[in-house]
Every structure is written in structure tokens, then in C-alpha cells.
Amino acid sequence: MMDASIKIILALLISLEISFTTSISLNIALIVCAIIYLLCKRVNWKLMLYSIFLPILPAFGSWSSLYFYGTGDHIHMSFVLLTRIFAYIWIGSCFTFTTDIDKLLKSLEQNFRLPSTFVYGVLAAFNFLPRIAQEVKIIRLAARMRGEILHFYSPQIFFKAILTSLNWSNNLAQAMRSHGFAEGATRTHYHVIKIPIWNWFVALVIFIAVQIFLFMSPFH
């Protein structure tokens, strides 16, 4: 198992690199490798389909913008962007489909010294994700009962969201403190997450392989 924080660092580095390079073949190679990785991990096929269909519109949008409105090397660039957007999605999926925020934050805390106030604060808030989705619906429904329709550009919807965040954060922080969470105190860990050396090694090999591919590939 690759460690979650290594995975996200690698994903960020590679996606940053393909934001600035213009190699179609590298983008395609990354997509293929990501798909193979996800197949090996036996990711749910519905999630895989999601990663195929989701980027179609933005990818097509970027492709057609450059293809029809660009100048100079725009035909090549339009296909770079098309493949780049799919590469972003699939590289992202390698992270989001195979690990979770819990593992990531705990690894960041134990291996990268992220302060525990941040780790557990963010974690507490992320556990509210389903309730937040619900709350957005409630805010809009409550307004509709008063005959108002809230759009995403209505200040009220954001104001209500901020009010709710303030309330919940007070309650959550109090609840955590009453359960013994002390800010800045040293903690011991029940789940000790140590990053094995081979994780760093694999990450380095992948990163170097990307560079070699970029410079050696006859196709761009």
C-alpha cells in the first residue's frame, strides 16, 4: 500500500508538470498507467465509468476553444489540453478512489508534522460532508417556503451557510474539548502510520520515469 500523503504529493507534482509541458504522448501514457493501476486495485467499475464520462464536457470545451479560436500551434495545443484534462482526472482518481481523507490527514500529522489542531479540526468538519449537502438543500427549501428562490449568486445562501458553519464549529469544538482534545498537546497514536522506504523509492522511480519519457519520447 502506498502511503496517502506520498500519493497526493506525487499526484500534485506530476499534474503540476503536465500543466506546463505540452506532450500528448506523456498525457496518454499517464492516463494508461493510471487506468492499469486502478484496474489492479479493483476499483468499482461505476467509479471508473464516472472518470470516463465526467471530463468529456470540460475536455471538449477546452479542445474546441483552442481548435477554433487559437492561433499558431493551436491544433497541437488543443489535443494537449484534451488529453491533459483526462490525465488530471485519472491521476486524481488514483488518489481519491484508493485512499481517504482520514488516512491522508493522519499520515500528514505523523510524518509531516501537520499540527494536530488542523488534522482533527479538518477531519471533524469533513465528517459533516453529508450533512452539509443536506443543509444546502434545506436552506434553499426554507427560502422557497417564504416564496424566495435562492440562486448560487444570492448572498443569502452564502450568509446562511456561514451562519451554520459558525454554529456547528462552536458545537464541534466544544464537543471535542469535552472529549479530551487539547490544542497543542503531544498525542500518542493508536494507529501508527510509518512511511516505508520503498514508498519513497517507488515515488521517485515514477517521477524519474516521467522525466525520462518526456525527454526520450519521439512523439509529442
Partner 1 sequence: MQTTKKSSGWHLRDVIMLTLIAIFFGFIFWIWAFAYDAVAATPLKPFANDITLGAWIMAGPLAGYLLRKAGASFLGEFLAAFAEMIIGSQWGVSTLLSGLIQGIGGELGFALTGYKKWNSFSLVLSTLTSTIVTFGYDLYASGYTSYSLGMLITLFIIRFLSIGFFGGVLVAAITKLIDKSGILNR
Q: Which helix (H) or strand (E) holds 99?
A: none
Pick from 2, 3, 83, 120 the residue near partner 1 by CB under 8 A: 120
Cell of 141: 427549501
The answer to whether 150 contacts partner 1 (rule: CB under 8 A) is no
Task: Give the whole-angstrom CA distance, residue 178 versus residue 189.
Answer: 19
Pick from 35, 43, 143, 176 the residue near partner 1 by CB under 8 A: 176
Residue pair 201/8 in contact (Cβ under 8 Å)? The answer is no
Looking at the Cβ atoms of 179 and 189, the one nearer to partner 1 is 179
Residue pair 55/86 in contact (Cβ under 8 Å)? The answer is yes
Task: Give the whole-angstrom CA distance, residue 11 versus residue 34.
Answer: 11
The answer to whether 37 contacts partner 1 (rule: CB under 8 A) is no
The angle that helices 74-96 and 24-40 make with each other, rounded to 10 degrees, is 20
Residue pair 28/86 in contact (Cβ under 8 Å)? The answer is no
Q: Least distance from C-beta 54 to partner 1, angstroms?
A: 5
Q: Least distance from C-beta 205 to partner 1, angstroms?
A: 20
Pick from 9, 25, 37, 96 the residue near partner 1 by CB under 8 A: 96
Pick from 44, 170, 211, 217 the residue near partner 1 by CB under 8 A: 170
Task: Give the whole-angstrom CA distance, residue 50 versus residue 128.
Answer: 24
CA Rg value for the chain: 22
Residues 189-218 contacting partner 1, CB under 8 A: none
The answer to whether 29 contacts partner 1 (rule: CB under 8 A) is no
Please choose, out of 10-18, 37-45, 188-196, 197-205, the segment that lies near partner 1 by the rule CB under 8 A.
10-18
The answer to whether 48 contacts partner 1 (rule: CB under 8 A) is no
The answer to whether 80 contacts partner 1 (rule: CB under 8 A) is yes
